[in-house]
Amino acid sequence: MRRSVWSAFSLIALLFCCSWRPASARATETLDWAQCLAEAAGHHPDLRSAVESVRQAEAQRNIVKGGQRPTLNASAGGQRSGSSDTAPAGAWSYGVNASQLLFDGAKTSSEVKSASESLKASRYSEQSVSVDTRYALRTAFVQLLTAQKQVALDEQIMIKRKQDLRLISLLYKPGTENIGSLSKARADLGEAEYEVAQAKRGLELAQVLLGTQLGRAATGPLRVTGQFTANESTRQSPDFDRIAKESPAYLNLTAQKDAAGYSLQAARSAFMPLVYVSTGFGNSAFRQLPPDRTDRQAGIDVSVPIYAGGSGKAGVARALALVNQLTADEQSLYLSLKRNLAQAWKSFIDASGKVEVQKKYLDAASERARIADAQYSAGLVSFNDWTIIEDNLVSAKKSYLNVQSSLLNAEAAWVQAKGGTLDSR
């Protein structure tokens, strides 16, 4: 019995060991930008929350619309009583009543319009969430794309540093180079090895960040494909005024202001009379079930507000203050959006030009390093001159990658500033 138990345990342990693999050995999933957009649009929790907010606003509008429709109520009841000394007695009743609002000073219709504008504001708010989600997703995508290139670049630099160290070691043995040159080569290699390890940690972090922006609770190794080129055109200066007024954030606040305007109209209608038309039928009977006759009635009900302790006037004042507040907020947001657009556009243009400049520096540094390698091997330049040129090439490669990444981030900020949603590529 003991032997069979141990055999089963060993089999389970063997299966577990065979099925388990470290994270580095797991299959890497490759995604492009279009796939990331599609997945985030369907799974990100912020977007799901925004969708439910829209549904709440739709339900609220339908609730308010119910005040314009007729109401119908039906009732029925019975009661039976008695004691041991008397015969049991019963009372029975039923009724059906309907009523329809005829006039309330446009209070209900104004409330319906206000609810409709609130629904529009909720939809624009959903678009604003999509704008912010796209920006966060794009920056995470760029971070992973940069991290991948950073690992490859640092490994390339490390290989070159190893080659340089071997060369310096060969020259040191016969005395052609001194201990200082050898120490510098060793330090350069140590720094390169550290930067490779650091870049790999950055790669793992970037994979986690992108996974969360995709809406994934658990993520494995990820890889993205893409180019360090901007899709947005920089040839023509945009119309900041038009873009600001078409942004979801501005339209959201405009809809809120319009909703407040209709709420103000509804508040002013509180002083108007209410007129309902009603009709119904029913009856009640004592002991007999069903009742032996049916009574019908129809009429008009008029209610005129005379005094409510000043609540109506206070409601109008509050609604008016809200309209004035949202009007000021709308103007403030418009000015803020124009500032942000101008700043984002400038940063995007600057980043685009910086890439071109840095590419020229990289080409020049690469050519100088190629020539210096040949000259140093032939003994035509000193170690100090050669290593300065080598360091400049390493610096130029890192700077070029940084400005490429900055260009994509600046483009993402520009798209966010002009209201680009997840539907925007």
Q: What is the pLDDT of residues 25-71, one digit of tens each?
A: 568 899 999 999 999 999 999 999 999 999 999 998 998 888 778 88
Instruction: Choose among 424, 113, 67, 415: nearest CA to 257.
Output: 113
Band of pLDDT at residue 257, cut at 50, 70 and 90: very high
Q: pTM for the complete prediction?
A: 0.84
Going from the C-alpha of 45 to that of each of 140, 153, 192, 208, the distances in angstroms are: 17, 35, 40, 16
Band of pLDDT at residue 83, cut at 50, 70 and 90: low
pLDDT tens digits along 177-228: 899 999 999 999 999 999 999 999 999 999 999 999 999 988 789 999 999 9
Going by their DSSP bridges, the two strands 274-286 and 295-303 should be labelled as antiparallel
Instruction: Choose among 386, 381, 422, 345: nearest CA to 43.
Output: 422
> Residue 2's pLDDT is what?
43
Helices (H), 66-178: 107-172
Going from the C-alpha of 161 to that of each of 148, 165, 243, 384, the distances in angstroms are: 20, 6, 50, 15
Instruction: Choose among 391, 362, 376, 393: nearest CA to 188.
Output: 391
Half-sphere exposure of 323 (CA within 13 A, CB side): 17
Band of pLDDT at residue 89, cut at 50, 70 and 90: low
* Count of residues making up the chain: 425
**What does the mean pLDDT of the chain come to?**
87
Domains and CATH numbers, the chain: 28-67+106-417 (1.20.1600.10)
pLDDT tens digits along 146-170: 999 999 999 999 999 999 999 999 9
Instruction: Choose among 398, 424, 392: nearest CA to 411.
Output: 424
Band of pLDDT at residue 291, cut at 50, 70 and 90: low
